[in-house]
């Protein structure tokens, strides 16, 4: 049994067949966690779809209308790079509901993971790069609306820059966005995040980890979030078909551990989303995502040993302060 909840629904799978986006990976991650005895069926929660009101805190009315009524133009559908269907829309609303649920459980347990989501290329008025609805932004806006949090930090380690994230939160002092990505890769242009780390092609484990660590240090010095959203892409992996970095599986596990260590040291609850992963062998992508869950488990267990009543108490006090303010 895991010390936190996993959010998952079979309808996350878009059944895209031979598409480069392996949406069956969500189901495979769940199956592997269960098969290896790393999680119990009771660890999983099924989300409700986000409401239209939730989606509309981030996305434009016109775009949401077109998504719901199937009236996107051919060019708009091409730009999404996933075929339009009613099931796609259902999956996107569910993934956003899943990230809301993960965020809520992160505030309760310190950690939670949506076995899906991380659609960081979605803009308020259009979808692109396999991303239709920005589930992480929807979740942050919902929790801010509920006054459960005031501030959030998005730590995005997907190999591709979080352009939708940057566009949504640019100029918003309540949300700190960090993206560490391959510079010479999609998307173009890259609107500025609060902190962008542009990596050269072919960077390996040691360089990546030391660059990431120095920026995490800086980010947490500058900003103290009520919640961290981790967009933990599997695509910095050296065997990725859409990435040009050279991280190993071990390096990716160290990356996750490093991110979680920083969040824990700063007493920030963490909501995890999976984001991209296009390894030649889908089993590799699944293994990397499972590794992210295991790194969170290890960090969570370490935390309870180091004793966190103090930290949890501090968070409780802070939440009390928010609800009073
Ligand atoms: Zn990616």
> How far is the centre of ligand 1, averaged over its atoms, from the C-alpha of 118 (Å)?
9
What confidence tens digit (pLDDT) does each residue in 116-154 have?
999 999 999 999 999 999 999 999 999 999 999 999 999
> How far is the centre of ligand 1, averaged over its atoms, from the C-alpha of 141 (Å)?
23
Residue 314 in this model has a pLDDT that exceeds 60: no
Report which secondary-structure segment, H or E, holds 179. Answer: strand 175-182
Q: What does the mean pLDDT of the chain come to?
A: 94
Q: Which residues of 106-117 are buried (b: 16+ CB within 10 A; e: fewer)?
A: bbebbbbbbbbb
> How far is the centre of ligand 1, averaged over its atoms, from the C-alpha of 160 (Å)?
4
Report which secondary-structure segment, H or E, holds 44. Answer: strand 44-45
Residue 322 in this model has a pLDDT that exceeds 90: no
Residue 28 and residue 223: Cα distance in Å, rounded? 36
Band (pLDDT 50/70/90 cuts) for residue 82 is: very high
Q: What is the pLDDT of residue 233?
A: 97
Band (pLDDT 50/70/90 cuts) for residue 319 is: very low
- What number of CA atoms fall less than 13 Å from residue 208's CA on the CB side? 30
Q: What is the pLDDT of residue 304?
A: 54
**Any residues with CB less than 8 A from the CB of 309 and at least 6 apart, and which?**
none
- What number of CA atoms fall less than 13 Å from residue 309's CA on the CB side? 0
**Any residues with CB less than 8 A from the CB of 261 and at least 6 apart, and which?**
299
Token couple for 85: 């269907």
> How far is the centre of ligand 1, averaged over its atoms, from the C-alpha of 313 (Å)?
36
Residues with CB under 5 A from ligand 1 (ion): 158, 160, 233, 235, 276
> How far is the centre of ligand 1, averaged over its atoms, from the C-alpha of 81 (Å)?
13
> How far is the centre of ligand 1, averaged over its atoms, from the C-alpha of 2 (Å)?
27
Residue 265 and residue 303: Cα distance in Å, rounded? 9
Residue 323 in this model has a pLDDT that exceeds 70: no
* Mean pLDDT along residues 204-231: 98
What confidence tens digit (pLDDT) does each residue in 247-270 have?
999 999 999 999 999 999 999 999
Question: Which residue in this structure is represented by tokens 């016109």?
Answer: 62
* Mean pLDDT along residues 306-321: 47
Residue 317 in this model has a pLDDT that exceeds 90: no
Residue 14 in this model has a pLDDT that exceeds 90: no
* Mean pLDDT along residues 88-98: 98
* Mean pLDDT along residues 52-59: 98
Q: What is the pLDDT of residue 16?
A: 87
Q: Are 180 and 219 in contact (CB under 8 A)?
A: no
> How far is the centre of ligand 1, averaged over its atoms, from the C-alpha of 312 (Å)?
33
Residue 92 and residue 90: Cα distance in Å, rounded? 5
Residue 79: φ, ψ to 5°: -65, -30
What confidence tens digit (pLDDT) does each residue in 265-291 have?
999 999 999 999 999 999 999 999 999
Structure-derived torsion over alpha carbons of residues 219, 220, 224, 230, reported in degrees to the nearest 10 = 80
């Amino acid at each position: 049994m895991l010390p936190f909840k996993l959010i998952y629904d079979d309808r996350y799978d878009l059944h895209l067949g031979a598409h480069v986006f392996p949406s069956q990976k969500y189901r495979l991650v769940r199956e592997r966690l269960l098969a290896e005895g790393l999680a119990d069926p009771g660890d999983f929660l099924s989300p409700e779809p986000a409401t239209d009101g939730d989606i509309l805190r981030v996305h434009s009315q016109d775009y949401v209308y077109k998504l719901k009524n199937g009236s996107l133009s051919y060019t708009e559908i091409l730009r999404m790079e996933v075929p339009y269907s009613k099931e796609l829309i259902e999956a996107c609303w569910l993934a956003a509901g899943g990230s809301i649920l993960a965020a809520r459980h992160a505030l309760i347990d310190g950690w939670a993971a949506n076995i899906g989501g991380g659609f960081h290329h979605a803009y308020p008025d259009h979808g692109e790069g396999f991303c239709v609805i920005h589930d992480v932004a929807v979740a942050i806006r919902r929790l801010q609306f509920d006054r459960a949090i005031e501030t959030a930090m998005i730590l995005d380690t997907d190999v591709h820059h979080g352009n939708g994230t940057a566009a949504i939160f640019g100029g918003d002092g309540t949300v700190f966005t960090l993206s560490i990505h391959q510079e010479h890769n999609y998307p173009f242009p890259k609107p500025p995040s609060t902190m962008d780390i542009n990596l050269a092609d072919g960077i390996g484990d040691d360089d990546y980890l030391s660059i990431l660590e120095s920026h995490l240090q800086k980010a947490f010095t500058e900003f103290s979030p009520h919640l961290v959203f981790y967009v933990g892409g599997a695509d910095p992996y050296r065997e990725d078909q859409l990435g040009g970095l050279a991280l190993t599986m071990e390096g990716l596990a160290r990356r996750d551990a490093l991110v979680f260590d920083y969040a824990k040291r700063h007493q920030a609850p963490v909501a995890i989303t999976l984001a991209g992963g296009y390894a030649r062998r889908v089993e590799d992508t699944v293994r990397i995502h499972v590794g992210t869950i295991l790194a969170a488990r290890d960090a969570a267990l370490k935390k309870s040993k180091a004793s966190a009543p103090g930290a949890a108490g501090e968070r409780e006090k802070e939440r009390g302060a928010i609800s009073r303010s």
